[in-house]
Amino acid sequence: MRPLVAHIDLDALRHNYQLACRCAPQSRSVAVIKADAYGHGALECARALEAEVPAFAVASIEEALNLRSGGVTKPIILLEGIFSADELTLVDQHGFWISVHSEWQVAALLAFSPRQPIPVWLKVDSGMHRLGFSPKEAPAVWQRLASAPQVTALHLMSHFASADAREGSYFNQQMSILTGLAEQLKAPLCLANSPATLAWPAAHGDWNRPGVMLYGSDPLEVANDVTQQLRPVMSLRSEIIALRELEAGESVGYGGRWRAERRSKIAVVAAGYGDGYDRHAVDGTPVLVNGQRCAIAGKVSMDMLTVDVTDIHDAAIGSEVVLWGASIHGAVLPVDEVARYCDTISYTLLTGVLPRAPRRYHGACV
């Protein structure tokens, strides 16, 4: 079998979730498992977390129904609410919670007769300028929903544009809008994503919404002592399938992007962009071979990539190669670091791992 496997450590997932809870002991944390749990497998992750989380968050009713049909019984919040009015029947039937960000959603909800009232998170646009009611519109919408028999457990929800930045002026601007509304409406809050959970206690509400940190990625511009305790959940591992010696001046791969400056040993690894490994990885992007750091040399191909292992003396056919995550030899290559070399973020690398890379689950609950 092809050796490329995305190993998923469900114990690390639970460890990271518990860290999120410890950051915000006064809040309850929904575990955000949208986009197939950021590429880790939504059902497996939900089952691993279900005993300790009060609720899950996903992006669509399809994702929520997939969890229900897999036997997940905890509340599930649809972060973008319904995409059409007819979804309300399923929302009611399965006990989903919904966010409400647009007038048409309010109208649909108030025209609907659920069997039991639906928990609603009213989304306010405090500065992200993507979804939600303006701070001016929000109080009137809040009053309509608060008095509607269709609605229960009404919360105010908002999303931060730059909680990951060390510089907090935009965060504080959003926060002051939200504190004003919360006081005026006596509204319970749900504001914090991972970076706000980790770095901005002022944003901790009745609920928080940590996502990427659950998977072990550090979303902060500057790491803190909590992010240093995060453990990688996905370890994308493969093996060396061929080795060759190059003379100084010879090049590797498409376009000959990497050229040997000395006699070099090149390892060919079974992993490529056809598995979701980013083709934008530059020469020098780190990988671990037998737990030792070395670097990509040459453009990533569909099924293979090439690594300079001149200084890795035990590199052999069959040697372990870690593209990100933990090595069986103990070393760790953070997905955040690989992302920087690909001019992207951990979110795209993790959600981008394609079905050709099989997921293999590890941990006490498997």
Ligand X SMILES: *Cc1c(COP(=O)(O)O)cnc(C)c1O
Provide the minimum distance between the beta carbon of 79 and ligand X in the complex, in angstroms, as a whole number: 4
The tokens describing 325, both together, are 């995550």
Which position among 17, 74, 254, 265 bears the catalytic label? 254
**CA–CA gap between residue 50 and residue 300 (Å, rounded):** 38
Provide the minimum distance between the beta carbon of 119 and ligand X in the complex, in angstroms, as a whole number: 16
Number of residues that this document lists for the chain = 366
Which position among 34, 215, 299, 347 bears the catalytic label? 34
Q: Which is nearer to ligand X, 99 or 285 (CB)?
A: 99
Tell me the residue number closest to ligand X, measured at CB: 211
Residues 6+ apart with CB under 8 A from 101: 80, 81, 123, 131, 132, 133
Spatial contact of 77 and 97, defined as CB atoms under 8 Å apart: yes
Torsion of CA 122, 125, 129, 130, to 10 degrees: -10
Q: Which is nearer to ligand X, 194 or 227 (CB)?
A: 194
For residue 120, the cross-strand partners are 98
Residue 170 known to be catalytic: no
Q: Which is nearer to ligand X, 200 or 273 (CB)?
A: 200
Residue 34 known to be catalytic: yes
Provide the minimum distance between the beta carbon of 207 and ligand X in the complex, in angstroms, as a whole number: 10
Amino acid of residue 159:
H
Spatial contact of 284 and 308, defined as CB atoms under 8 Å apart: no
Q: Which is nearer to ligand X, 3 or 188 (CB)?
A: 188
- Backbone Cα Rg of the chain: 23
Provide the minimum distance between the beta carbon of 12 and ligand X in the complex, in angstroms, as a whole number: 16
Provide the minimum distance between the beta carbon of 84 and ligand X in the complex, in angstroms, as a whole number: 19
**CA–CA gap between residue 242 and residue 31 (Å, rounded):** 41
Torsion of CA 65, 71, 75, 76, to 10 degrees: -30
Site residues for ligand X per CB under 6 A: 32, 34, 79, 159, 193-194, 209-212, 219
Q: Which is nearer to ligand X, 193 or 327 (CB)?
A: 193
Spatial contact of 106 and 82, defined as CB atoms under 8 Å apart: no
The tokens describing 95, both together, are 């006990």
The tokens describing 16, both together, are 């990271």
Spatial contact of 346 and 270, defined as CB atoms under 8 Å apart: no
Side-chain half-sphere of 203: how many Cα atoms within 13 Å? 30
Provide the minimum distance between the beta carbon of 256 and ligand X in the complex, in angstroms, as a whole number: 39
Region of 55 on the Ramachandran plot (φ > 0 left; ψ -120 to 50 alpha; else beta): beta
Q: Which is nearer to ligand X, 14 or 34 (CB)?
A: 34
Catalytic (active-site) positions: 34, 254
